[in-house]
Amino acid sequence: MKEYSGPYWVLNLPDSWQAHHGTDVETIYYQDGVGVIDITSIMNDVAAKEADLRFYATEYMDKAADNTAIHLGDFSGFSLEYDEEGDFWWRAFLKAGHVILLISYNCKTNEKRLELEAVKELLQSLSVRWDI
């Protein structure tokens, strides 16, 4: 297990998982897995509210049947699931203090249940970086 840090957050990354820093997004994936996690981080000027999360989720809300309240580590918010053109998407819109995380996981629709629980378990270790 190793610690992996994004701009405003940190999580425990199992040895079999890889992560890469991108310009605007952190990408995480299981070496022998079927999908990819992307995490976009935003520092809000004021403490983030549910309305802020809904703003970022607007373009996806009509694609999902419903949203589910979710807590991942220090963060809380909601997630959406939907299939689109042969791909499965799980998206989480999370907040903790001033930090907003936009998380997406996608894979082929027929593989959607192979690692989604492992992804959610990995994300349970999310915590806010207090050294920023």
Q: What is the mean pLDDT of each run of 10 residues along the chain (132 residues)?
A: 93 93 93 94 94 96 91 97 95 97 96 92 93 64
Strands 36-43 and 67-72, sheet pairing: unpaired
Give the global pTM.
0.94
pLDDT given for residue 28 in this prediction? 96
CA distance 51 to 93: 11
The count of other CB atoms within 10 Å of the CB of residue 130 is 9
Hey, what are 87's tokens? 């791909």
In this prediction, residue 31 carries a pLDDT of 86
Residues 49 and 71: beta-carbon distance below 8 Å: no
